[in-house]
Structure formats: structure tokens, C-alpha cells
Amino acid sequence: MVSPNTATPATVRQVNRAILLNLIRTHQPVSRIQLSALTGIYRSNVSFIVEELIQEGLVCEKRGKPEGRGRVPMFLSLNPDGFQVVGVSIRAGETVSAVADLTGRIRQSTSFRTPKSPSAWLEHFRTALARLRSAAGPGPGTFHHLCVSVPGMVNQASGEILWMNALPNYSGYKLRDAAEAATGIATSVANDCHLATTCERWLDNTAGDLKNFVFLEVGDVGVGAGMIVNGELCTGHNSTFAAEFGHMVVDPSGPRCNCGRKGCWELFICDRATWGYYDATREFSASRFAEVIQAAKAGDRKAVRAFQKTAAQLSLGISNIVMVLNPEVVVLAGRVTEVWDLIYPSMANAVGTLPGKPQIRPARMSAEELFLHGAIRHALSGLFAAPQLG
């Protein structure tokens, strides 16, 4: 009898299939011979798997230019019409739903105001999905997977929202089960920053070579984060939370955090904190924050000092994270990255003397785009990821 922890020939073929599909994605158009050279997989095995992918409509081939008197080479690409998924990003104000093809490109999108109750949300979402289905036309009307990005704590294994500060009525809602029952589409639910982390990895030019990195999203009133360790997203032992760097206590006598403790790091680096360093006499608002950004860009000394203070606090936390995880890269998202030249020197200074010296860079997309595209990538990941053993 075969142990469930053992790789069978079928598992090996599935792993090779995922590897080839990923290489077609990153190297397209690419020939079978090139795929064999890139992977070391026998040409006959490459051809066998490629035929399977063509049959399933995931890959298409096009004739290349004739090479001398030799055969005309055939080049392989992902078939964008072969597979469609739905990515959804719930934010406190608005929910965006998008249909994407196999390459991750968004075909259609639609949005609605996020209601206060999750059952009302589900009704709105059904309507949005019907709109997307009719926009997709009569051809590719099947959506193979649905992934929802949630700005809160989620049990990724069960798809239940455990805690959502911005929308308290959603806490305890079994979103995955409810969405599957309402739509008939296989669904996964994940934390927004965890999805953004995997999206950043996908977008990385070195495609999969980035094995250890930390993602930080500096938001209006909090900080979200995710981390990839040894090539895997870390979700904690019970799939509920990990990498909550924003709640590292940096000042036990500091202000009260909504996690119940005092002096959490996010209270010193979120946009509301920067606003407080700039103008403590007026309440923070997301639209007012644009004021301090513009002022800092124009060289206003008070605004520059406010961002320098935030940068000093950011640097403190990042240097601690680096000492624990030794990541290759720390990626930062959020509006604070709009004044990158102001905040970067302090962070570079703080990690420059540490062993490992990670690169610190801004994210490749805005945080909102990363949440939505992260959901899309996650919905596609079943195709591109090799099966796990055990």
C-alpha cells in the first residue's frame, strides 16, 4: 500500500505539470525543446504533459518562423480564454469583484458599497456576479474558482471570518460556505495582506526565486503584513493569523490599541500617526492625509519632519523583523510610499549594518490593487502550484 506521504508517479507528473505551466507563463512564447532544456525533463515527457494542457484548453500553440531548411518550430503560450476565475476584494467602503483570465488579466470588474451586514453583502455579490457573467458573453461563462480578500482575521482552512474591526458584523461569518452555496463556485477566503504577499511574489521578476520576504501595508489606522518563509506563506499553526507585526508592542505605556494591548507598533507608523505628528489639533481623515503628503513633497519642514518621525519608527520595527526572519526583501505598500525618498534613507540606514542586509522596496502595485490581484492569483494558484505531500 502507498503511504499518503509518498510521491507516486501521478504526483511527479502533477508537479512537472505545475512547473511547465509556470514556465510557459513566465517564458511565453516558448517551445517544447526550450521547456525541456529549462527543466531537465525528457522531451517526450514534456510533450506528453503539453498535449494534456492543450487538450484542456489551458495552453495554445502558434507556428514560429521557419529555421533554415529545418522544421517549423511551434511556440506555446497560456490560452487566456481557457480558464476564468473571480477575485473579490472586500474593503470597509467598497467591494470590488473582477473576472480574470488564465494570465491574471482582468476582463471585467464591478463594484458596490459594502453593506454593514454579511447577508446583505451576499445578495449584492450575487447581483455583481450575474452582471459579470452577462458581460463575459455566451462563450466563457464558467468561472472555475472564486477567492475573496478580507480585511481582517480569517481561518484560511475553514473560510470563516474570525474578526473584522472595520465591519464588526462580519466577525464569525462563514463566508466560504455561504458563497459556495449561493454561487456554486469553489471558493476560498483569505486575509487581504496574505493575498497581497503572494501577489508580490508572483509579480517578482525572479518568479519563484524569492523565498523569504516580508510584506508590510501601512494603512489609515493600522498595519497589515504577510511573510513568505522558505517559499511558503506563513499562516500560523491553526491557519488563522501570523505576521501581525503591527501588533508588536514597542511601548508598553503607549496608547491603547484595538487589539486590547498598549503601545503596538502600528499606532506609531499608520497614516493617522503621521497626521498626528503633523497636526495634532485636527482629526485625521484619509482625504486630509493627502494634505501632509503634498506638503512634504513641496518641502514643507513640518510635513517632512512628520514623515521622518514615522520613518524612524518604521525603521525600528523593520530592523527587529529583519533580525528575526533574515528576509531577502522587505516590501512596503501604502500611501506612505508616495514620499519614498523621505522615508527610505532612515530604513536603509537601520538595516544597513545588520547581517543579511535585505533590500527594502515599495510594492509593485497600490495596496488596493494587490488585494484584488492577490485574490485573482490565489484563485488561479490551484493550477500553477505543485501538490503538497502529506
The footprint of Zn ion (CB under 5 A) covers 247, 257, 259, 264
Q: Which is nearer to Zn ion, 199 or 318 (CB)?
A: 318
The residues with which 264 forms a beta bridge, in sequence order, are: 249
Residue 251 Cβ vs Zn ion, minimum distance, rounded to whole Å: 11
Q: What nine digits make up the cell of 372?
A: 484584488
User: What DSSP character marks residue 225?
Assistant: E
Q: Which is nearer to Zn ion, 201 or 247 (CB)?
A: 247
Q: Which is nearer to Zn ion, 211 or 262 (CB)?
A: 262
Q: Which is nearer to Zn ion, 210 or 225 (CB)?
A: 225
Query: What is d(CA 25, CA 21) in angstroms, rounded to the nearest whole number?
Result: 6
Phi, psi of 107 (to 5 degrees): -95, -45
Residue 166 Cβ vs Zn ion, minimum distance, rounded to whole Å: 15
Residue 227 Cβ vs Zn ion, minimum distance, rounded to whole Å: 18
Residue 264 Cβ vs Zn ion, minimum distance, rounded to whole Å: 3
Residue 254 Cβ vs Zn ion, minimum distance, rounded to whole Å: 10
Q: Which is nearer to Zn ion, 264 or 333 (CB)?
A: 264
Q: Which is nearer to Zn ion, 41 or 257 (CB)?
A: 257
Residue 217 Cβ vs Zn ion, minimum distance, rounded to whole Å: 15
Query: What is d(CA 338, CA 315) in angstroms, rounded to the nearest whole number?
Result: 17
Query: What is d(CA 257, CA 213) in angstroms, rounded to the nearest whole number?
Result: 26
Query: What is d(CA 380, CA 105) in angstroms, rounded to the nearest whole number?
Result: 11
Full DSSP string of 330-357: EEEEEGGGGGHHHHHHHHHHHHHTSTT-
User: What DSSP character marks residue 93?
Assistant: S
Q: Which is nearer to Zn ion, 193 or 264 (CB)?
A: 264
Q: Which is nearer to Zn ion, 139 or 252 (CB)?
A: 252
- Asked whether the beta carbons of 160 and 176 are under 8 A apart, the reply is yes
Sorted by sequence, the CB contacts under 8 Å of residue 6 that are 6+ apart come out as 389
Query: What is d(CA 326, CA 329) in angstroms, rounded to the nearest whole number?
Result: 9
Residue 192 Cβ vs Zn ion, minimum distance, rounded to whole Å: 17
Farthest-apart Cα atoms in the chain, separation: 79
- Asked whether the beta carbons of 194 and 246 are under 8 A apart, the reply is no
Query: What is d(CA 226, CA 161) in angstroms, rounded to the nearest whole number?
Result: 17
Residue 337: count other Cβ atoms within 10 Å of its Cβ.
18
Residue 263 Cβ vs Zn ion, minimum distance, rounded to whole Å: 8
